[in-house]
Amino acid sequence: MARTAGTFGSVEQMASGQWRARYSHQGKRWTAPEPFSTAKLARGYLGSVKFAIESGTWLPPEKAHPQIPNEPKPVPTVAEFAESWITKRESGAIGTRKMKPRTAAEYRRLLKSTVPDSIAKLPVDQVTAQQIRDWYDGLCAAKRPTQTSRAYAFLKTVFTQAMPEHMGELAYITVNPCQVGGAGRHVEPAVKPDDDPQPENIEALATAIGPKYAAAVYLGAWCALRWGEVSALRRRDLDLTRKVVYVRHGAVWLTGKGVQVADPKTAAGVRTVAIPGHIIPDLKAHMDSMASNDPNAYLFPSRDPSKPVSESSFQHHWEKAREKAGLPKYRFHWLRHAGATWAGQTGATIAELQARLGHTTPAAAMRYQHAAKKRDREIADRMAKLAKPKKKK
């Protein structure tokens, strides 16, 4: 920051390129309520304050402050600007397509739960790179890497929206204060050997959870579906003759609205997944047991059959079954990991894994292909142990 001092007060240039005016009076340090576009305007403000003090008409900045020509318009706080951006994206006013409700809800959650008032209530152009770094270090200390990377990426995006490339001459900042290298990227840790899923684990879990949700376990594992995809399935989405499941929607939980069924976040999420033949009888048994034959009936309905079961309701059954099956504290997503790993072990290419899993990029699919290669090495090593040692000549 460039900083200059005069006979009364001082002015300093912020990362945004604007200027902040400060002065001391009555034993306190005061800051102009709004930044200035030039150092000259900031010094002019200080001159007006000095005159007010000397004439006995001075008031604290929050009550009244001298107005000078061309003083910039108030800049929104980080929270205000972020909410405005989210709202505009939701409505489709900006961007190439409307923001999904689940994404908007997640951004609002991150804004409320991870961004402190010391940043959220500051004008967008007054946040410094050091403040962002301190905030990020604090998030890292909590040891929640996934949330930390998401929160940082979100806030960096918000500040990017306030820059010239998005706002032109109306931009609030010219430099993004989010400058922590690699902070918005989180790479999932390699799967530990002890976490390698086994088919017998899935069978034990399906048996323990009972006929009401056994099919959900099979679909999550053997078709590698996400929970939101499984819970949004309807009768018409299962074609047992062709042995495929049509993934067309996803169920999400929105605060204040409950379970909502919407289109997948990306085009890659809409897909047709082949069903391994050995679970067809289990899926048929589930469909035969359903109360409704309506093609639009949910496979796993809530008490209100017009809505799918919520994740929290299912979680109650999941936890009891997991403990009964003697499995660690795995989440439903572990089933998807299992199915993806097995698909990789069959020799599926990255493109094939990407299509089956509904990924938009090959990065995630590559993780499962690498896991499969590691597993193949272990299998080969075990086979070698079974072979009889060759006789020395």
> Catalytic annotation on 249?
no
pLDDT bracket for residue 374 (50, 70, 90): low
Q: Domain segments of the chain: what residues?
A: 1-69, 78-170, 195-372
**Amino acid symbol at 225:** L
The full 3-state SS of 239-278, as one line of letters, equals ECCCCEEEECCEEEEECCCEEEEECCCCHHHCEEEECCHH
Give the pairing type, strands 258-262 and 250-254: antiparallel
Its pTM surpasses 0.85: no
Tokens of 98: 């409307």
> Catalytic annotation on 333?
yes
> Catalytic annotation on 89?
no
Residue of 226, 322, 337, 367 marked catalytic:
226
pLDDT bracket for residue 182 (50, 70, 90): confident
Residue of 336, 337, 356, 367 marked catalytic:
336
pLDDT, tens digit, for every residue of 85-114? 999 898 888 777 788 888 888 899 999 999
Residue 135: the pLDDT is 93
DSSP-assigned letter for residue 94: S
> Catalytic annotation on 317?
no
What sign results for the dihedral spanned by CA atoms 136, 139, 144, 148? negative
Mean pLDDT score of the chain: 82
CATH topology of domain 195-372: hpI Integrase; Chain A (1.10.443)
> Catalytic annotation on 336?
yes
DSSP-assigned letter for residue 60: -
